[in-house]
Amino acid sequence: MKQITILILFVVLAVGCKTPQNKSEKDANLLKNISQQLAYFPVLKDTANIKSNASVFPRTLTPSGELELVSKRDWTSGFYPGVLWYMYSLTGEKQWKDKAEIYTDLLKSEQFNDSNHDLGFKMMPSFGLGYELTKNESYKKVLIQSARTLITRFNEKVGCIRSWDHNRDKWEFPVIIDNLMNLELLFWASKETGDPVFYNIAVTHAKTTMKNHFRSDYSSYHVVGYNAETGEVISKNTHQGYADESSWARGQAWALYGYTMIYRETKDPIFLKQAENVANYILNIAKFPEDHVPVWDFDLTDVKTEPRDASAAAVMASAFLELSTFTEQHKSTYVEEANKMITSLSTNKYFSELGANKGFLLMHSTGSKPKDSEIDVPLIYADYYYLEALSREINNQKQPN
């Protein structure tokens, strides 16, 4: 029998609750708390005169505590519209849909942006989730073109989609573990168009990454550099981790989420096995603090003072919940771990006090510690995957036993 419960979560967030509540009351309190906090985003209040070429998408807070906005070309730009779409999905309130449509439309021209691999990150939380909820045909057209743009970065010799064009002195053809997340756009496009090219490229990239990105314990490197002419592996680095041979926490989250999603789309057991192997690394080898929110790199021994990464926990929680639906053998283990992460993220240690942090939900994420960038701050993608995890948890509870 499924025991997916968020009782602790709702008790923590239901301010002033002193008497037992039923499930619907706890759901209402949770969504009310989240809605009230998100309403503090300044960008929600004046959307009439937004320009598509302006920096209007929330990403994080500056060191002085001000809201940092980025342009549509930033890799995180799709997550704020995704947050709004999830709020519409969870509440059914038209106000969230109206705002989501505004911010989604601002990304429309990105369907032609072939400068990096981040189209999936931008388009699936915005146009993808929007299409799922509204069936807006214009969204579908944007997504298909986005997929066409993304596959122009595929190299047959390498068997992967090129991630970055910068730092050419360091990498000839870099592929990062994050790139797995962008494959969902290609799987979606293949289903919608019937064109197997998108599917085949996604599967080839997934298999090449599985071959070259992972160590024997199924921890992952961040960047694998290839020879673009021969496909030979030249280098393996962990660019955003503590050291090349260390295990960057969010990188492991991308790997877990990525192969779980790839199994969902292919039903190929090799991808389920890969997701389970990554899950085993996270559950049984990686070093976690007691509250199950990791520090920014699993190979760091000082888990008390090193910065945490709430975004990694949010991504993992969402991935574990989906992975639990694909296996009976490990289902309870995955659900239990996801619940521990969600419960911790929902305490006042990580969840913003009402009105604080300009409207962000979660505190204590780490963007790139080696670059001394975005350390111990809110990050918009942490909020997005947190809401996705909550949505999956609620939906899992609705499934028959």
**According to the annotation, is 368 in a ligand binding site?**
yes
**According to the annotation, is 309 in a ligand binding site?**
no
pTM of the model as a whole: 0.93
Q: Which of 169, 178, 309, 372 is flagged as catalytic? A: 178
Residue 144 has, within 13 A of its CA and on its CB side, a CA count of: 11
pLDDT for the residue numbered 303: 84
Contact by Cβ (8 Å): 161, 150: yes
**According to the annotation, is 250 in a ligand binding site?**
yes
- Got the DSSP string for 64-121? TSPEEEE-TTSTTTTHHHHHHHHHHHHH--HHHHHHHHHHHHTTGGGGG--SSSTHHH
Instruction: Give the whole-angstrom CA distance, residue 48 versus residue 39.
Output: 16
Q: Is 178 a catalytic residue?
A: yes
Q: Which of 46, 74, 118, 291 is flagged as catalytic? A: 118
**According to the annotation, is 118 in a ligand binding site?**
yes
Parts of the chain with a pLDDT under 70: 1-27, 48-49, 398-401
Distances (CA, A) of 314 to 17, 326, 346: 25, 19, 11
- Whether residue 1 is contained in a domain is answered as no
Question: Domain residues for 25?
Answer: 7-398
pLDDT for the residue numbered 317: 98
What tokens were used for 302?
């000082």
DSSP H/E element including 7: helix 7-13
- Whether residue 2 is contained in a domain is answered as no
- Whether residue 252 is contained in a domain is answered as yes
Contact by Cβ (8 Å): 292, 344: yes
pLDDT for the residue numbered 302: 85
What CATH number has the domain bearing residue 17? 1.50.10.10
- Whether residue 382 is contained in a domain is answered as yes
**According to the annotation, is 254 in a ligand binding site?**
yes
| Domain tally, the chain | 1
- Whether residue 367 is contained in a domain is answered as yes
DSSP β-bridge partners for residue 69: 58
- Whether residue 174 is contained in a domain is answered as yes
